[in-house]
Amino acid sequence: MACNETPTDVFAGLNASTPFVGSHFTTLTLPLRILLATIMLFMIAIGFLGNAIVCLIVYQKPAMRSAINLLLATLAFSDIMLSLFCMPFTAITILTVNWNFGAHFCRISAMLYWFFVLEGVSILLIISVDRFLIIVQRHDKLNPHRAKVIIAISWAFSFCISFPSMVGWTFVEVPSRAPQCVLGYTEFPADRAYAVMLVVAVFFIPFSIMLYSYLCILNTVRRNTIRIHNHTESVCLSQVSKLGLMGLQKPPQMNVDMSFKTRAFTTILILFVGFSLCWLPHTVFSLMSVFSRQFYYSPSFYITSTCVLWMSYLKSVFNPIIYCWRIKKFREACLEFMPKTFKIFPKVPGRTKRRIRPSAIYVCNEHQSAV
């Protein structure tokens, strides 16, 4: 884009029905486009159904409406909105190799994409900081009322950051080089400043804060584990010495199960790793698209943008899979909502599933609850 052109002029000069194919662009083959579109349809189904179960659990069971569960439900809701209002249009564009939804909706779709992504990242950041305060600082001040206030603030913040892309305050191009409306190359300082602010708010700031929080949490958990292990060994040795059996036999080994204190944290840590892997390529891609003319107008830009956008959408599908793997109540809710005709094994009564855990005597009081 030349320096004497305005973003609006460039945007208006683009034809919404301009195909991707041409001498300047390299596109995917038809079988590969069909495969990617089919995969995205499965991603939409998993993202919608999996995250909807999380919302239903919190909505239908008042006992589950703790602060952390409200945050997880909000994270799931943002992923549902992303699956319904952004992913289908990307899948259709990948399949047809045309943007058939008009220039105005291009800006709306770009705003919705950044809006829901930024909201999901904000909630994940809030959860991470809450885990940091509980485990490291020993402060558990987040109650359901405060969680609702923070959630409302996060929605307002996400809307304010993403809104400029819809009203024309920044350059968003009709997809002639990507299967979705993306930030295009521009030489205007204001547009570049907005692009930097957007990627900083979506990735760099949350990633830095969450990384610091998890490093501190891991260090705290390691020190606590060592301290408990040393304390347990000293207690065992003192008991054995009182019996006068020192030197005759090895002290009994007492296994302290710490999974009840670290499992919820580990689940959030896995979500953070998934967020980092899915969004680091998209962040680099967005910055290069805005600042590098050679990259933006390269023949391989369409293929690159397709892969990067696919990875960014994978995050909304990644979360329900982690919930099903890590959270027992989520698996039970999936079986509960599943139609009876699809249930192979009968539900085992709760009384037969209960077991006495000797390690329960070592449980330290800590207010942690997760879906």
CATH code for the domain of 308: 1.20.1070.10
In 243-292, where does DSSP find H-type helix? Answer: 259-291
How far apart CA 334 and CA 114 sit, in angstroms, is: 30
- The model carries a pTM of 0.76
Phi then psi dihedrals of residue 170, to 5 deg: -145, 165
Answer yes or no: is 323 within a domain.
Answer: yes
Answer yes or no: is 368 within a domain.
Answer: no
Range of the domain at 277: 29-243+259-347
Answer yes or no: is 9 within a domain.
Answer: no
Residue type at 57 in one-letter notation:
I
CB 46 within 8 A of CB 123: no
| Dihedral of alpha carbons 292, 296, 300, 301, sign | positive
Answer yes or no: is 250 within a domain.
Answer: no
How far apart CA 334 and CA 254 sit, in angstroms, is: 36
Answer yes or no: is 214 within a domain.
Answer: yes
Q: Left if phi > 0, otherwise alpha if psi is -120 to 50, otherwise beta: which for 19?
A: beta
Residue 290, Cβ density class (10 Å: 0-12 exposed, 13-18 middle, ≥19 buried): buried
Answer yes or no: is 355 within a domain.
Answer: no
Domain count, the chain: 1
Answer yes or no: is 364 within a domain.
Answer: no
Tokens read off for 32: 């590969």
Answer yes or no: is 353 within a domain.
Answer: no
pLDDT tens-digit profile, the chain (371 residues): 333 333 333 333 333 333 333 345 667 788 888 898 899 999 999 989 889 988 988 888 777 788 888 999 999 999 999 999 999 998 898 888 878 888 788 888 888 999 999 999 999 999 999 989 888 888 888 889 999 999 999 999 999 998 887 766 566 666 666 788 888 888 888 888 888 999 999 999 999 999 999 999 888 888 877 877 666 666 666 665 555 544 445 544 444 444 444 566 788 888 889 889 989 999 999 999 889 889 888 888 888 888 898 888 988 888 888 888 887 777 777 777 766 545 554 554 544 444 444 444 334 444 444 44
